[in-house]
Amino acid sequence: MEKISIQKIKWLRGLGLKKNRDESDCFIVEGEKIISEILEINPNRILFILATSELILKYKLENIENVFVGNENDLSKVSTLNTPPKILAVVSKDTSKEINVAEKIIILDGIQDPGNLGTIIRTADWFGLTQIVCSKNTVDCYNQKVIQASMGSIFRMNIIYTELSDFISNLNVPIHGALLDGQRLTEVNPKDIKVLVLGNEGQGISSGIIKKITNPITIQGFGGAESLNVGIATGIFLYHWVR
Amino acid sequence: MEKISIQKIKWLRGLGLKKNRDESDCFIVEGEKIISEILEINPNRILFILATSELILKYKLENIENVFVGNENDLSKVSTLNTPPKILAVVSKDTSKEINVAEKIIILDGIQDPGNLGTIIRTADWFGLTQIVCSKNTVDCYNQKVIQASMGSIFRMNIIYTELSDFISNLNVPIHGALLDGQRLTEVNPKDIKVLVLGNEGQGISSGIIKKITNPITIQGFGGAESLNVGIATGIFLYHWVR
Q: What is the pLDDT of residue B52?
A: 97
Q: What is the pLDDT of residue B41?
A: 86
Q: What is the CATH number of the domain that holds A233?
A: 3.40.1280.10
Q: What is the pLDDT of residue A1?
A: 86
Residues A118 and A233 reside in one and the same domain: yes
Q: What is the pLDDT of residue A153?
A: 95
- Whether B1 has a pLDDT exceeding 90, the answer reads no
In a domain, A191, yes or no: yes
Of B115, B224, B240, the CB nearest to A156: B224
Return d(Cα A16, Cα B133) in angstroms, integer. Answer: 40
> Chain A residue with minimal CA distance to B157?
A224
Which of A236, A240, A242 is most worth mutating to test chain B (most B CB atoms within 10 A of its CB)? A236
Rounded to 5 degrees, what are φ and ψ at A6?
-65, -35
pLDDT digits (tens, 9 = 90+) for B68-103: 999 999 999 999 998 999 999 999 998 888 999 999
Decide if A126 contacts A234 (C-beta within 8 A). Answer: no
Q: What count of CB pairs under 8 Å joins A to B?
A: 115
Q: What is the pLDDT of residue B96?
A: 86
DSSP alpha helix (H) spans, A25-62:
32-41, 53-58
Task: Tell me the mean pLDDT in the region A189-205.
Answer: 97
Q: Please count the structural domains in chain A.
A: 2
- Whether A116 has a pLDDT exceeding 90, the answer reads yes
Residues B119 and B200 reside in one and the same domain: yes
Look at residues B113, B106, B178 and name the one whose alpha carbon lies nearest to residue B149: B113
In a domain, B97, yes or no: no
Q: What is the CATH number of the domain that holds B68?
A: 3.30.1330.30
Residues A88 and A12 reside in one and the same domain: yes
In a domain, B98, yes or no: no
Give the torsion sign (CA, A35, A36, A38, A44). positive
Residues A130 and A159 reside in one and the same domain: yes
Q: What is the pLDDT of residue B164?
A: 98
DSSP alpha helix (H) spans, chain A:
6-14, 18-24, 32-41, 53-58, 72-78, 114-126, 144-150, 164-169, 207-210, 230-242
Residue that is last in its domain, among A92, A123, A142: A92
Residue that is last in its domain, among B32, B59, B92: B92
Q: What is the pLDDT of residue A39?
A: 93
**From the CA of B8, how many Å to the nearest CA of chain A?**
30
Task: Tell me the mean pLDDT in the region A211-216.
Answer: 98
pLDDT digits (tens, 9 = 90+) for A66-97: 999 999 999 999 999 989 999 999 999 988 88
- Whether B243 has a pLDDT exceeding 90, the answer reads no
Rounded to 5 degrees, what are φ and ψ at A225?
-65, 140
Whole-number CA gyration radius for chain B: 20
Return d(Cα A160, Cα A151) in angstroms, integer. Answer: 19
Rounded to 5 degrees, what are φ and ψ at A191?
-65, -20
**B233 interaction partners in chain A (CB closer than 8 Å):** 235
**From the CA of B156, how many Å to the nearest CA of chain A?**
7
* Parent domain of A14: 2-92
- Whether A159 has a pLDDT exceeding 90, the answer reads yes
Rounded to 5 degrees, what are φ and ψ at B199?
-105, -175
Whole-number CA gyration radius for chain A: 20
User: A159 has which bridge partners?
Assistant: A132
pLDDT digits (tens, 9 = 90+) for A36-56: 999 988 899 999 999 999 999
Residue that is last in its domain, among A92, A121, A150: A92
Decide if B217 contacts B176 (C-beta within 8 A). Answer: yes
| A2-3 vs A46-51, strand pairing mode | unpaired
| B2-3 vs A215-218, strand pairing mode | unpaired
Return d(Cα A143, Cα A34) in angstroms, integer. Answer: 16
Residues B109 and B212 reside in one and the same domain: yes
Decide if B122 contacts B153 (C-beta within 8 A). Answer: yes
- H/E segment holding residue A49: strand A46-51
**B225 interaction partners in chain A (CB closer than 8 Å):** 122-123, 125-126, 151-153, 156
CA distances from B91 to A194, B42, B67, B101, B234 (A): 47, 10, 13, 27, 28
- pLDDT above 70 as % of chain A: 100
Of B156, B221, B240, the CB nearest to A126: B221
